[in-house]
Structure 1
Amino acid sequence: MFLSLLGNQIGAHRVAAIGFLVSWVFTFIALNRRFSFLPLDQGKAFVEGGDQSKGKLRGVGLVIIIAFIVTGLLFAKVSPEYVIFLILIFAVMMSGYLDDASDTPWSDYKKGAIDLGISIIYVVSFIHWNGTEIQFFHWTLTLHPLLYAILGIILIWVSINVTNCADGIDGLCTTLVIITIGSFLAIFGKNLGNYVGYSVILIGAMLAYLCFNTLPSTMLMGDAGSRAFGFFIAVLAMKSRHPFSFLLLAIVLILDGGLGLAKIFLLRFLKIRILANTRTPLHDEVRKNQANRNWSKTQIVFRFAIVQVMFSMLAYILLA
């Protein structure tokens, strides 16, 4: 709305900057309300340090994503494709929120099936509006729609789940997601078009959340936030026309959250045991050996973030 009113006068980038500020303020005020319908974390005995989260407000990803959607509708360009995207990111968020609020955690198969359905719907929509052309380094390829659909579904499903699994230390997942989104903007801003504005608005909401989630945190975004963030990253990878850049621009999320998924998949379906002496996600392995490595939780966040920045710079050299 405001983009059409002010865009010609002050420019789309300034409108996006205003959207960033409004998103931060909106999210910060909303999170301060501490809505009574949000669940409290019960602590997870099987998670390293899970008892420290007990009693904290959980599932505030609901607030973050709603703030992002409302601000995006006000300050970004709205198109049929964007409306479908908003509906799907809301659906991803709600699937996580309902799991957060449930007395009994949802099964992996139930969440995986929901992720698969959402991935299929988005990929079909994406192909309709954008086609199947991708860039691999400096080569341009046009994939068969079926092949593109399969790869796109895998990308979205993996991104949702590795991002979700990486959410285990105050500030870690959100910091990595901000770096990843910022890297896509820096390298592929011209390709992303309107999604530059959407990204800036989401970063504003995430920074407001970090005011409450840095160590020691007072609230947790839960699956409602991390799953939606993973979906957004996958969408950026597809919109950038460089979907394989996901492997570099989200490498820390992939390794931190993805190794655990690989362990479970191989053991459950192929009876293959790997990394038997390594805890996953990797941030739990670092915490387990914290006494030997002398890493505090803050150091884990910063060191993981630094590694991601290094890989993002490598991606810039190779792909920009």
Structure 2
Amino acid sequence: MFSIEIFLPAFISFALTVLLCPIFIPILHRMKFGQFIREEGPESHLKKAGTPTMGGIVMLAAFTVSSLAYMLNEPQIFPVILLTVGFGFIGFLDDFIKLAKKRSLGLRAWQKLGLQIVLTGYFAYVIMSDYPELTQIIIPFTGGQVAWNLGVLFVPFVFVAVLGTVNGANFTDGLDGLATSVTVVIAMFFVVLSLKIGSPVYITAMIMVGTLLGFLIFNTYPAKVFMGDTGSLALGGFVAAEAFMLKAPLFIIIVAFIYLAEILSVMLQVSYFKITHGKRIFKMSPIHHHFELSGFEETRVVAMFTVVTILCCFIGFIAL
């Protein structure tokens, strides 16, 4: 089952990432593309101001080059490339505007959402026109024997699943190595699942594993580079696309539970704050900041969330 051909995509993307980061990080320094730190954020994060961001460009470059090398023989990986690179580009626009104009706000909310909707709509079109069998999704804990044919509900379901996953990944990127560590575990889940059912998207999953492991060398605490929205939006697009190509979007709730917890913590915090006119559920959202302000070291929070993701992926395997 496991051969050098299976691991080769990960080796290629890992090597590209490790080679590109030392070249790209000094360029970011010279261009003064440093991270802006919110004043209302944890005080311990103020020392991170100026750390190069937009490292997601390296991730996208390694992922794209490695994936395109396989796409001619495996065209089924195109939708994964489409959503990963597409959301990465939206993130790049957001990051670039922030850094070029030296402000904390990049794309306007309506601009970012509009681009996300257009990209997600095109992804849904590609699935329905080229892979109509993927509109039947696997129900967890049925042994893969029960599939749900969404019919006309497929398109709205795609929008909810994709946009929720992408923005969940975006909120998860708040600590050194957090989004990277959590997503590399999720990517490994997709590797095993795709090999089990014989899907070629194991290639893009392996490529992402290699890319993230390479990036982790520079992104673990204390991070030498941050991925920015370029990277975090791309990761969300990758997770959503892999899940849909494997008929397993419902499994996102299980294996990407951390994404879900992060985005729900923000929604709950904002809603409760408005309803109660100033009261809060968490000390700060997203929830990883709540743990930080509760006395947990940053590295410990990252370790905890990664372990939770590993356990969730085990549950995901049980649910197959």
Q: Give the TM-score of the pair, scaled to structure 1.
A: 0.86
Q: Which residue among 7, 19, 35 is the counterpart of 2:9?
A: 19
Indicate yes or no: 2:139 matched with 1:133.
no
Partner of 1:286: 291
Task: Tell me: CA distance 1:125–1:29, structure 2 relative to 1, closer, same or farther (3 Å).
Answer: same
> Over residues 227-277 of structure 1, what are the superposed CA-to-partner deviations in whole Å (9 max), with x where a residue is unaligned?
00001101111122122111110011210233214544x479xx5459823
The 3-state SS of whatever aligns with 2:146 is: strand
Deviation at 1:50, TM superposition (A): 3.7
Question: Does 2:102 align with 1:71?
Answer: no
Q: 1:30 aligns with which of 17, 20, 36?
A: 20
Is 2:96 the counterpart of 1:95?
A: no
Please state how far the C-alpha of 1:13 moved relative to its aligned partner: 4.7
CA drift of 1:155 comes to: 0.5
| Percent identity for Structure 1 against Structure 2 | 20
Match of 1:220, SS state, is: coil
Give the letter aligned to residue 52 of structure 2: L
Counterpart residue number, 1:204:
210
Q: What residue is the counterpart of 1:214 in the other structure?
A: 220
**1:44 alignment counterpart:** 38
1:160, 1:227 within 8 Å by CA — same for their partners in 2? yes
Q: Which runs of 5+ in 2 are unaligned?
A: none
Moved more, 16-25 or 150-159: 16-25
**Is the contact made by 2:60 and 2:231 (CA closer than 8 Å) also made in structure 1?**
yes
Q: 2:174 aligns with which of 168, 178, 183?
A: 168
In the alignment, structure 1 residue 303 sits paired with structure 2 residue 308: no
Conserved? CA contact 1:287–1:297, under 8 Å: yes
Paired residues of 1:178 and 1:203 also in contact (CA < 8 A): yes
Report the equivalent of 1:124. 125
CA RMSD of aligned residues (A): 2.4
Give the Cα–Cα distance (whole angstroms) in 2 for the partners of residues 46 and 262 of structure 1: 18
CA distance in 2, matches of 1:114, 1:305: 30
On the 8 A contact 1:16/1:201 being kept in 2, the answer is no
Question: How many pairs are equivalent?
Answer: 302
Q: What are the superposed Cα offsets for residues 48-70 of structure 1, whole Å, 9 maximum, x if unpaired? A: 24422211111110111111110
Alpha-carbon contact 1:15-1:75 (below 8 Å) kept: no
Q: Counterparts of 1:143 and 1:190 in 2: how far apart (Å)?
A: 22
Residues 110, 29 of structure 1: alpha-carbon distance in 2 compared, 3 angstrom cutoff: same
Return the TM-score normalized by structure 2: 0.86
CA 1:172–1:247 in structure 2 vs 1: closer, same or farther (change >3 Å)? same
Letter in 2 for 1:284: H
Distance 2:40 2:257 in 1: 26
Structure 1 portions without partners, runs of 5+: 1-10
SS in 2 for 1:134: strand
Shift of 1:144: 4.3
